[in-house]
Amino acid sequence: MSSDAAGHGQVPDQVAAADSGPAAGDESAEHERQFREILEFSPAALLVVDEAGRLLFHNSRLRDLLGYDSGELQHIDTSTFWHDREQRSQIIASLHERGGQLLNEKVVWRSKSGQLLNLLLSYAQVAYRGGHISFVGGKRVLWVYDVTALTRHERQVEEQERQLREILDYCPAAVCVVDEDGRILFHNWRMRDLLGYEKHELELFDTKLFWHDLGHRERIVEMLRARGGQLLNEEVIWKAKRGELLSLLISYVQVAYAGGHVAVSGGKRLFWLYDITPLRRAEQARLRSERRLAEAIESISEGFVCYDGEDRLVICNSCYRDLLYPDLDIDLTAGTTFESIVRRAAERGYVKDAEGRVEQWIAERMHQHRNPGEPQVQRRGNGRWVMVSERRTEDGGTVAVYSDITELKQREQDLTEKSNALTALSSKLAKYLAPQVYESIFTGQQDVKIVSKRKKLTVCFSDLVGFTEITDKMESEDLTQLLNRYLTEMSKIALQYGATIDKYVGDAIVMFFGDPATLGVKEDALACVQMALAMQQRVAELAAEWRDNGIDTPLQCRIGIHTGYCTVGNFGSEDRMDYTMVGGTVNLASRLEHEAPPGGVLISFETYANVKDRIACEERGRVQVKGIAQPVATYSVAGQKQDDAPTGTEHLRLELDAGRMSVDERKAAAEALRRALVQLEEGGPN
């Protein structure tokens, strides 16, 4: 063997000597060259080692693989390549046992630089048990394949598979693979958690036991066979381990029929399970709530309707239909627009307010509907009245309640008529009562029952001197006109000063101060005397008018005033009563009126004591009056004292009862007073 052959290996001498002829030698050399070239450039590394494991022959692929030069590998101990020498020993022992049989093993070798390489060793032939090889001294022939990249890929695949299994195991949806008979080949943690089983309990578990309806399962299996690999989603009911029924969505993503396959050996069906039990329970609860809500709405005695944000009907009750659209062929199903409903009702005469102005009414109704405020009242074509109360919801919709107020409207109309009649009657009755009495009765301050109280009053009597004489000279019509004019003017003054007019007796007037309203005894007495002076002044003015009307005898008024305690209140029977006063004070005032001179005012000492600071009086001495044991001190009223004399307001008349005025009336009165003030400052009317 040449030195080159010793380094790289050569064909055996027996082969070279097989044909000793020149032609045979040339042909053998060419074969050897071709053979060596094939081995040298083989994609797999080739080694021939002796019994001790020393390298006898190798090719270039081995040098490239391990990073050695040709000289470095000559007779090198191949055990230095091994990362796990224990594995090498096991392989050698296996070779001894198996003889010439082929042996493939995956091993890890180290390259010259120390890099670990994953290799596949294929022992193609061994010399034991009579076998032989063509390389002198060779005991083992092996091919070496670099499977480092393949091993790395396998590990990546294994890691990916591990990660995938982990992902599947903790997937929110249950994953299951079953064989042809429906036994579980693979499942994840969610499947166990969902159904309440342990992992070992589900190994080759018959999934038929899950099904609540096996007929449903059979129909699904038939659909899978018919549809092949198409996706199939079905809602099913399964039983958990404890018997609880679960609503599930089962999704068959791949089937083995029609040529399909799954990644689990023997798997025929792969499906995902989604627990929709809470969803179905929530849906059932929603349906129950909607049913109860519909029943509650239907039970409402008033019309109820709800529209969404697009003004489309959501729900209404039968009362709404019967109240607004009885016998009307109108679409009131969900989704109908509000405008179409009111338009049909208006066009068909169901709304009285829309007659002759349909479009205008629809526009007004749409504005009210979109901008709800105070309840609106509609007059319907069938004579009914409906009150509409609308409000907006948070989502932009509208809810409305329609109330039948026909009976209420009828009562309101009846009450209005009765109220008008009562107002007219009360206005008439007011003519027979003093305003103070009338107000106290109608405001509830005083009960209409027989009751009286003792109170200090200032009583005033007045009459016309000479009235009896002129009655024989005048016609009854003229006399009536004169008397009414006189009483009217006196009554105005009395009311202006706050007097309570007790009664009219012919031309006489009975008045008192201090009840039912009082300013105090002193103020009441002063107001009474000031009233008497105003009356005398007005009678003087009327005398000129009467003279112009042909009454030649001058009519004069005489007035008597006394202050003292009286019994005042309602007197009479349960059927008829009179608000008046009784007592000695009344009698004394009447006697003073008879003692008063024509055109004069005669007051008692009790009255004088209350008004002397403001009223100028002249003492008339004591007079004996009928019914009074002791003489009565009297005073004649001369007029107001200088400080209280008229100050240019003789032509000013002001009647004001702020307690009976509303806020608007007070504002109007204030404005009128401001205008009067402007006129006074400017010296005349505008």
* H-helix segments, 550-639: 584-595, 605-611
pLDDT at res. 26? 79
How far is 48 from 88, CA to CA, in rounded Å?
15
Beta bridge partners of 46: 143
Checking if the pLDDT of 261 tops 50, the result is no
Give the tens place of pLDDT for each residue, 237-253.
999 999 999 999 998 87
Give me the CATH code for the 3-148 domain, please.
Answer: 3.30.450.20
Tokens of 94: 């296996």
DSSP three-state, residue 381: coil
Q: How much is the average pLDDT of 463-470? A: 82
Domain map of the chain by residue range?
3-148, 170-281, 300-410, 447-655
Between 641 and 264, whose confidence is greater? 641
Q: Give the pLDDT band of residue 27 (cuts 50, 70, 90).
A: confident
Tokens of 673: 């007073």
Q: Are strands 556-572 and 601-604 parallel, antiparallel or unpaired?
A: parallel
Tokens of 319: 């009362």
pLDDT at res. 493? 93
Give the tens place of pLDDT for each residue, 70-83.
889 988 999 999 99
Select from 3.30.1300.10, 3.30.450.20, 3.40.50.170, 3.30.565.10 the CATH code of 300-410: 3.30.450.20
Asked whether the beta carbons of 442 and 429 are under 8 A apart, the reply is no
Our measurement of the distance from residue 126's CA atom to the centroid of its chain's CA atoms, rounded to an integer in Å, reads: 92
Give the tens place of pLDDT for each residue, 514-570.
888 888 999 999 999 999 999 999 988 888 888 877 777 778 899 999 999 998 888
Between 389 and 162, whose confidence is greater? 389
pLDDT at res. 21? 55
* Fold of the domain spanning 170-281: Beta-Lactamase (3.30.450)
Give one DSSP letter per residue of 355-373, joined into a string: TT-HHHHHHHHHHHHHS--
Asked whether the beta carbons of 342 and 362 are under 8 A apart, the reply is yes
How far is 530 from 615, CA to CA, in rounded Å?
8
Tokens of 282: 């929530």
Checking if the pLDDT of 644 tops 60, the result is no
* Fold of the domain spanning 447-655: Alpha-Beta Plaits (3.30.70)
- Residue 581 main-chain phi, psi, to 5 deg: -135, 155
pLDDT at res. 241? 93
DSSP single-letter state for residue 396: S
Q: State the angle between helix axes of 476-497 and 521-548 in degrees (0 to 180), rounded to the nearest 10.
A: 150
The pTM (predicted TM-score) of the whole model is 0.41
Whether 3-148 and 170-281 share one fold: the answer is yes
When mean pLDDT is compared across 44-58, 255-269, 504-518, the lowest value belongs to: 255-269
When mean pLDDT is compared across 134-143, 187-196, 538-547, 664-673, the lowest value belongs to: 134-143
